[in-house]
A and B are shown apart, each in its own frame.
Chain A
Amino acid sequence: MSDRPLRTRREFLGKGLTLLGLGATVPLFIDELAWCLEDPLDVPLLTSRPGMPDHRVLVVIHLAGGNDGLNTVVPFRADEYYKSRPRIAIRPQDVLRLRGDLGLHPEARDLKALYDEGDLSVVLGVGYPNPNRSHFVSQEIWETASLDGKTTSGWIGRALDHDCTKDDPAPADLAVALSREPPQSFQGEIFQGLAVSELQGLRFFAEGDPDLARAFVRLHEGRVERPGDSTHLSYLTRVGLDARVAADKMQKALERRVTAEFPRSSFGQDLATVSRLIGAGLRTRVYSLTLGGFDTHSGQVGRHGRLMRELGQGLRAFVTDLRQQGQLDRVLVMAFTEFGRRVQENASQGTDHGEASPLFLAGGKIRPGLHGQPPDLRYLRRGDLVYTTDFREVYASVLKDWMGVEPASVLGRAVRPLRLIQA
């Protein structure tokens, strides 16, 4: 692949960063990123590191299918809205008012509550130039943060690559997705991320078999090093023991009772899992989840309403649980969708693929309220809303103000970050 950023990273790799503790056992499962050291004798670096502040977490939620922005953040004073949607528009008296001309979908009661508390903000009219209406392509654009059609690495992966490289194993659990495969956004030059439904990466095989577990520990702890022993054997022994500890931590984390009532849906339970993991003191910095079903080509009213309710309930429970644990200030949630939907309703009381859509942020350190401008209903492009905020400006804000990463190095170009996060 021919991207310039990749070349730079390959050269960066060649500088040969080494790991402290060439003879000592280095704990591999530690909460700080100790492995990106340029000088192996530089011990103070063990407690601080370049890149991400060590206590912050980003939770990315993909509203999959293309969330209808117009019925989510409703322009209830716009005639054009009602003319284009005789059957599926939200009535002015039903909206939950955010300001004089915009209101939330009536089923998004919990989102409104979060908004009123200052725990939720909305970025309006988010999209990108030359929009693509294919789910796959548009999603890829959001995941790679690239419009060139050739970049295959993801923005989060690139941010975490940028963070450090080292000679020891890449800590794949820095980014965890609750899905079958890690999303493309996790894929960096080196970094790959982990998917939690891949139970293997987190579970200790002998968890339910105490005799076997004891034997494992004896066989690993009891290994007496002999001169001429393969260094691989020592390494495998150490990692094996560390892995067991890591899995044990993970198991305890997943067993903790949550304080808030999460919806019973898989989305709700995923948020509960993430809340547990955040509270467990694991080193994971990014979580990724999906709420699907937004591709409402027909019969939109009921389905979209249910999704608004599910999203709201889930996020509210999540914020409540995190606050109870004292973790809310550490967490930033970003809920995005790959595109919005057409202004004009179709013949099946639904809407087809469109363009710009609002994006939600939640957490203890967001700048509350509405950001940006809603798309202008009077100036559509081929019947679609024109974006007012480039999604990369949102990413730039997250990268710079939340993750402590220089946005240009990840996004491949200079992007003006929005001010979405409190200092």
Chain B
Amino acid sequence: MGLDEAAHLLRRAGFSARPETIESVASLGREGAVDRLLFFESIPQPLLPSPFSEDDVLLLERRLADPRTSADERTVTEDLLRKVNQRHIDLLRSWWMTRMVRTPRPLEEKMTLLWHGHFTSGFREVQSSRLLWEQNSFLRANAVGSFRTLLRGISRDGAMLRYLDNQLNVKRNPNENYARELMELFTLGEGRYSEEDIREAARAFTGWGCDLEGFRVDASDHDRSTKTIFGARGRFNGDEVIELLLRHPGSSRHMARKLWEFFAHRDPDVQLVERFAQVLRETRFDIRLALRAIFLSDEFYSARAMFSQIKSPVSLVVGAVRLLGIKDFRPDGLYENARLAGQDLFQPPNVKGWDGDRKWITSSTLLSRYEYVHRLVMGPAPRGVDARYGRGPAVVTKRPYDPRPELEEHGLDRPEAIALHYVRLLLQRDLPPDRFFVILGVLTSGKTGSSTSTEEGLDAVRRMIVAIMTLPEFQLE
């Protein structure tokens, strides 16, 4: 497997990788490399303690659920619960950023991120960090598992039931929200069902709700009568609707297309999608095997696919830390920067998730991306600077990036070698000579013989790195 192909696989199926990892993955050959990334259970995952304890929250939630609680106590408890939830969701966000940077199983997190944007739920609407943490864990546990398991589980998920109002979906007054998004967004895509199908499917999910003990179906609220969905008649419940959806040829196509567009490129040919749709159908919707087919295909490594995607904010933020090998990062700062660049974990803009691609880039989100890499490399801004702008940028590290270990390890002392090394490390391809020359100029400008043993010399290296990371090329993966 070529180094370029390996690098591409590691960018897409993960959050970018350093040269040594690229080389070792390339040496496995395409199939070996893909299987190593996909069958990641054998790779030990160092334990990260849970982001927070659920006990405090459950105590407050029980007090609220208790009919004996007085109105005044209720107001106080609600306010307190809101504050605790806000604190916890921030901890969860930090936890996940740390996990994405440090994980030896990048595909696991990349798929969790994909599902996070597919089976969307938002903190503002759900107002429970506990439920969102449970959802996140569920998505991770089934990241490359069975799509059927994902559908059945997400239909029972407390955060999702709240987010899409299924808590309000009862026999005498059905609420179609969940059924609609289940068809339109989660399985079939627009136009493959009728309003009638949605109405009938909504009835199948009536009574499905969550309380403090977890998921339960309230029999008195559940409509057991006959429904007609996609022409089939039966007393369908939620799980049976899921089966009907999986049997519908639209679902394998919709999901195959989704996976291809996330990992390879937009607007694939119908025949290409059909190939992977078939894999999904033949494997009973085994996500891992569908991904395997995708990552082994020649089209995945085509010129059309390579460097054709704009990095999502999370991809940019996490990738930059990984590539530079920065260890003492502030995960809350990483989350903030991704948010400022347009991707707020646990708060997608709406149920469709993030549109991505060019929509990531506006003048202000691009300025945010530049500011992030600038701060990541140069260290925190001096206090008091930019007081006129307000609070200041989200801090990501406590001190400037130290290039010395990198320079020493690779024996880099001449400017040309230093510039070339960082261009290849960060862009993972070469620049045309005229552009490379400008990058080199940042390193050598003003300092006669930029010796990296001086603070000035190190600063010049940093500024050169920032120049590379603010190139349009760095926004692509």
Residues of A bordering B, CB below 8 Å: 1-2, 6, 28-29, 133-136, 150, 152, 168-173, 178, 180, 184, 189-190, 192, 194, 196-206, 208-209, 211-212, 215-216, 218-220, 222-224, 230, 232-233, 235-237, 239-240, 242-243, 246-247, 254-255, 273
Contacts and interface: CB of A to CB of B under 8 A. Distances in A.
Interface stretch (B18-26, B151-159, B282-290, B361-369): B361-369
Given A205-B466, A236-B475, A199 B358 contact: no
Contact of B472 (A134, A224, A236, A255): A236
A239 B362 contact: yes
Nearest to B369: A200
Interface residues of B, number: 63
Contacts of A206: 370, 374, 466, 470
B165 interface: yes
Contacts of A28: 362-363
Nearest to B78: A134
A210 to B, nearest CB: 10
Interface in B357-407: 358-359, 361-368, 370-374, 385-386, 388-394
16 contacts: A1-B350, A136-B82, A152-B125, A170-B362, A184-B124, A199-B386, A201-B364, A201-B367, A202-B367, A203-B371, A205-B370, A212-B466, A215-B467, A230-B307, A246-B364, A246-B367
Nearest to A132: B75
B391 A180 contact: yes
Contacts of A168: 358
Interface string B304-330: 000111100000000000000000000
Contact of A134 (B75, B359, B366): B75
B362 A169 contact: yes
Interface stretch (B51-59, B272-280, B433-441): B433-441
A134 B76 CA distance: 9
B241 to A, nearest CB: 18
Given A171-B362, A230-B307, 20 more contacts: A2-B165, A134-B79, A173-B363, A200-B341, A200-B371, A200-B393, A201-B364, A201-B368, A203-B386, A204-B367, A208-B385, A219-B435, A224-B434, A232-B308, A235-B358, A236-B366, A237-B472, A239-B362, A243-B367, A246-B363
B466 A202 contact: no
A28 B283 CA distance: 47
Q: Interface centre among A29, A200, A220, A232, by most B CB within 10 Å?
A: A200
A239 B368 CA distance: 13
Contacts, number: 172
Contacts of A254: 388-389
B239 interface: no
Contact of A199 (B164, B308, B393): B393
Contact of A200 (B175, B310, B372, B442): B372
A309 to B, nearest CB: 24
Given A197-B389, A211-B442, A219-B471, A172 B364 contact: yes
Interface in B129-172: 164-165
Given A150-B165, A230-B308, A232-B310, A239 B470 contact: no
Contact of A169 (B363, B373, B385): B363
B251 interface: no
Which of A29, A172, A220, A243 has the most CB atoms of chain B within a 10 A radius of its CB? Answer: A243
Given A1-B351, A170-B362, A243-B364, A236 B442 contact: no
B349 to A, nearest CB: 7
Interface of B: 75, 78-79, 82, 122, 124-125, 164-165, 175-177, 307-310, 337, 340-341, 349-351, 358-359, 361-368, 370-374, 385-386, 388-394, 434-435, 438-439, 441-442, 445-446, 463, 466-467, 470-473, 475-476
Contact of A202 (B125, B308, B364): B364
A178 B374 contact: no
A284 B413 CA distance: 49
A356 to B, nearest CB: 20
A205 B391 CA distance: 16
A240 B368 CA distance: 11
A240 B365 CA distance: 10
Contacts of A134: 75, 78-79
A416 to B, nearest CB: 30
Contacts of B307: 230
Contacts of B176: 2
B472 A247 contact: no
Contacts of A194: 364
B389 A240 contact: no
Q: Which residue, of B175, B309, B463, has the highest number of chain A Cβ atoms within 10 A?
A: B463
A106 B35 CA distance: 76
Given A201-B368, A203-B389, A216 B125 contact: no
A336 B442 CA distance: 51
Instruction: Find the residue from A203, A209, A224 having the highest chain B CB count within 10 A.
Output: A203
Nearest to B337: A200
Given A199-B386, A200-B393, A240 B463 contact: no
Contacts of A152: 122, 124-125
A2 B367 CA distance: 35
Contacts of B341: 200
A354 to B, nearest CB: 14
A114 to B, nearest CB: 26
A212 B463 contact: yes
Contacts of B435: 219, 222-223
Contact of B340 (A173, A200, A224, A233): A200
A219 B438 contact: yes
Contacts of B364: 172-173, 194, 200-202, 243, 246
A331 to B, nearest CB: 21
For the complex of A and B, list the 7 residue pairs with the smallest distance between their C-beta atoms, beginning with the closest: A197-B390, A169-B362, A236-B472, A201-B364, A205-B374, A200-B368, A243-B363
Nearest to B471: A219
A232 B358 contact: yes
A215 B358 contact: no
A209 B374 CA distance: 11
Given A180-B391, A201-B368, A242 B363 contact: yes
B371 A2 contact: no
A65 to B, nearest CB: 13
Most buried by A among B340, B390, B476: B390
Contacts of B349: 190, 192
Nearest to B375: A205
Nearest to B467: A215
A169 B177 contact: no
B463 A209 contact: yes
Contact of A215 (B309, B365, B393, B442): B442
B181 to A, nearest CB: 10
B371 A205 contact: yes
A172 B307 CA distance: 27
B428 to A, nearest CB: 15
B459 to A, nearest CB: 10
